Amino acid sequence: MSPTPSLPRPSKLDTGTPAELVRPLVVALLLSLALYPTLVHLIALQTLPEWVGRYWANGYCRFMLALFGWVLIYAALQWIGIDVERGALVQGAKGASRIDGWLAFLSGREGDQAEEAFLMSLPHQRLRYPNAESGTSLQEIEQLLGMLGQRQQQALAPLAFAIWVLPMLGFIGTVIGISQAIGGLSQGAEGMAAGGAGLKSVLGGLAFAFDTTLVGLVCVIPLALIQTVLRLRAETLGLLRYRWLLERLAQDDRHAHAEP
């Protein structure tokens, strides 16, 4: 009977909230808070096309666009983080530059140091061959990579939340706009026939309802596409990790056997 594979040793890889989620989320929030008032101050409604200015003049739509920008910056940091990890796996520490180190930090990664943490999480620093009593089995490597893949899925959770919440915000805006339109209808047909405040309230409420719904639905499309691409890149990164771990463990095993 083959021995039961042991779980990887506890480490920072599988405890607590992942830095890949918290750090880029905070960085994206700070950038969004810095860019939003700047854009509001610099962009003049007179210079915008009419079909764009109507959405920018709507404060509720601007809030939705700010949320979209926040998540978009976060997705860009996740994209950069995956590229940093790919570079660390392919090139190693020798190919890393200072810029790569900063990008790794902003995206919540640790660059080449994370790869060494993978090895430290394994119960043995060598592969377990058939009939061998010690070493790391393929099942143990798959368990470690499964934990790392779960952390990556957690890092994509804000994208999934934004894809859910933006249409909900649009529907809430629809309810608010329709309520405003109904309030205009309550003023009676006489005020509407005279072109008074009742008619303006109805048209304004309907415009608010349609605009917020459209912004919410349109913003979801690029986020859903980005989420799909990031998941595919994360799966490719998992395959690179698997190959890297096998090569490192096999290399350490050869060095161990070469020593007198």
190 pLDDT exceeds 50? yes
Residue that wins the pLDDT comparison between 147 and 181: 181
Q: Which pLDDT value is given to residue 125?
A: 47
State residue 127 phi and psi, 5-degree precision.
-75, 150
Q: In the structure, what pLDDT confidence band is assigned to residue 71 with cuts at 50, 70 and 90?
A: very high
- Nearest to residue 27, comparing CAs of 83, 80, 89? 80
Residue 34 has pLDDT above 70, yes or no: yes
Q: What is the mean pLDDT of residues 101-127?
A: 62
Q: Quote the pLDDT of residue 104.
A: 82
6-11 average pLDDT score: 42
Q: What pLDDT score was predicted for residue 256?
A: 45
Q: Which pLDDT value is given to residue 57?
A: 83
Note the pLDDT of residue 214.
93
pLDDT value of position 28 = 94
Of 101-110, 167-176, 215-224, give the lowest mean pLDDT range.
101-110
194-204, pLDDT tens digit by residue?
555 667 777 88
Q: What is the pTM of this model?
A: 0.77
Q: Spell 115-150 as b/e; 16+ CB within 10 A means b.
A: beebbebbbbebbbeeeeeebbbeebbebbbebbbe
- With vertex at residue 97, the alpha carbon angle to CA 95 and CA 100, rounded to the nearest 5 degrees, is 105
Contact 198, 185 (CB under 8 A): yes
Report whether 46 contacts 96 (CB < 8 A). no
> What is the reported pLDDT for 255?
46
Give pLDDT tens digits for 119-135.
555 544 444 444 444 45
pLDDT in tens, 136-159: 555 666 666 666 667 778 888 999
Which amino acid would we find at residue 224?
Answer: A
Q: Which pLDDT value is given to residue 193?
A: 55
- Condensed to tens digits (0 to 9), the pLDDT of residues 35-57 reads 888 887 777 766 777 777 788 88
Whole-angstrom distance, CA of residue 74 vs CA of residue 99: 18
Q: Tell whether the model's pLDDT for residue 237 goes beyond 80.
A: yes
